[in-house]
A and B are shown apart, each in its own frame.
Chain A
Amino acid sequence: MARTVIMGAGIAGHTAALHLRRMLGREHEVVVVSPNSQWNWIPSNIWVGVGQMSVKQVTFPLAPVYRRTGIEFHQAFATELHGAGGATSEQPYVSVRYTDPARQGEVAELAYDYLINATGPKLNFGATPGLGPNGYTWSVCTAGHATEAAKGFDAVVQKLKAGEHQTLLIGMGHGTCTCQGAAFEYTFNIEHELVKEGVRDKADVIYITNEEHLGDFGMDGMNFGYKGGITTSEDFTSSLFRERGVTAIMSAHVESVEPGVVHYEQVDGSKGEQPFDFAMLLPPFRGADLTAFDRDGLDITAQVFAPSGFMKVDADYEAKPYEEWKASDWPRTYQSVQYDNVWAAGIAFAPPHQMSRPRTSPNGTVIAPAPPRTGMPSGVIGRAVAQTIAGRIKHGSSARVHTASMADMGAACIASAGKGWRTGQAAAMTVFPIIPDKAKYGEAGRDTKQTYGEIGLSAHWMKVMLHYLFIYKAKARPLWHLIPE
């Protein structure tokens, strides 16, 4: 009998848990620890944030799914990792603190034979004074945040209808943010709703970003195969901004937010401020702040985790300049550098470096988009790690190690630009590989036949289809495993 504990029930953790449960007999235990009682299809939060979907449409309770599939569920935070056991036993364990209302605040130790760290990101609103729902800006990072953002947006629409001018500021709340795609989507959904409400002419919509160019998306931009030729994601994206009359503040690090005004620094060292009536700014991410201990109780967090709080895995973490970055720097197995029975899946692994060229202002401020790890690679990594563990449990240490390098993997991103069966728009983008590989694909870094962008109503239908498909899959409905990640 083997016991696998999975910390986190987001896309990577939940995918890994369901696949492990499917691949292993009932004599083996699969245990999920997550502070959230609900599963959230995060890509649709942007529609919650403009009042076009409810929280109920993008979430469902995890406990019934886990009960039905035979997965043990603990609604709790993982706080400590004891990978070599403790004073009385060599059995490794994680310490958890319950968020389950029935056991609120209780602490427990969960022993494991195999561990998957899929804790995802901590939303680090504290990195920028005044940022976030406890400050002066909205967020769409969680379904709850998005609901509040929708209320704020509705209030703005009412003021616009009353004839007031309003400035809406959307984008990145720090120089090291990632998830530019989500901010891009929210910007254009806001713009779309303003047009629908007949108040677009009274509003300024401004995008603020740490990207050097539009279309960078934290991926160093892309060269798209387009109508038989090549175009850049910058041209593709700039065209949409011009068409919709959205302006932007580029290469910006938001230093602080005060009521109605954002203070920022740009990469040339200049400082600026932007007044706003409504701001949705994403926070930077960091790891889940787990502490690791050896058997004697010594703190070995720095050996197990990067300073960012993400777990160090089989990547090349040697610091080197942008020109020397290679696709092979990125991890393949996601196995911990410290323990051979621990893996980090999805956002929880520490990337070796950014994908976009990092820049520093003359004042020493780092303005460097962090690399995105979207749903598709998170799911693929979660499944690969589950396959490796299932193989290890069934066949021993000689079992095949499954790999899922982002340098060998493509990703599809559907960026909504407005919801509506006949009036909706979205930008569909595919990219292969996710990590640019100039040695293999030349200066473009990617396969320009597989890297592609298109705007249209059909891409909106795709996003709606993926919404229902992935929620069906996450609910482990019949034949769920046939739906790819």
Chain B
Amino acid sequence: MSNIRTFSDARLPTDNEVRARRNLLVQFWRFAVLNTKMIVMVTRGHH
């Protein structure tokens, strides 16, 4: 089993972060932000 890494020193999300990832209001807002980021990305990539 020594070759298997467990990442026990990796940072865990805080309780607030976990809640925010599932909170519908927060996620509707993040959906809008993500869409905007994607559109900017796509616009920069199309010549």
Contacts and interface: CB of A to CB of B under 8 A. Distances in A.
A432 B8 CA distance: 30
Centre residue among A238, A248, A410, A456 by max chain B CB count within 10 A: A456
Centre residue among B3, B22, B44, B46 by max chain A CB count within 10 A: B3
Interface residues of B, number: 31
A411 B7 contact: no
Interface in B1-25: 3-8, 10-13, 20-22, 24
A53 interface: no
A239 B45 contact: no
A241 B40 CA distance: 30
B31 A403 contact: no
Interface string A255-276: 0000000000010001010000
B12 A243 contact: yes
A457 B47 contact: no
A69 B43 CA distance: 27
Nearest to A424: B22
Interface residues on A, range: 35 or more
Contact of A272 (B3, B10, B20): B3
B21 A425 contact: yes
A248 B4 contact: yes
B34 A458 contact: yes
A455 interface: yes
Given A239-B10, A248-B7, A485 B41 contact: no
Contacts of A477: none
Contact of A250 (B5, B21, B41, B42): B5
Contacts of A206: 4
Contacts of B37: 412, 430, 452
B7 A430 contact: no
Nearest to B41: A410
Nearest to A332: B47
B45 A408 contact: yes
A97 B11 CA distance: 54
A242 B12 contact: yes
Given A239-B12, A241-B7, A458-B34, A450 B41 contact: yes
Interface in A384-423: 384, 402-404, 408-412, 422-423
B21 to A, nearest CB: 4
Contact of A380 (B21, B22, B45): B45
B47 A404 contact: yes
B18 to A, nearest CB: 8
A158 interface: no
A51 B3 CA distance: 31
Interface of A: 206, 214, 235, 238-239, 241-243, 247-250, 266, 270, 272, 376-377, 380, 383-384, 402-404, 408-412, 422-423, 425, 428, 430, 432, 450, 452, 454-459, 461-462, 484-485
11 contacts: A235-B11, A239-B13, A248-B4, A376-B42, A383-B46, A408-B45, A412-B42, A428-B34, A456-B26, A484-B43, A485-B46
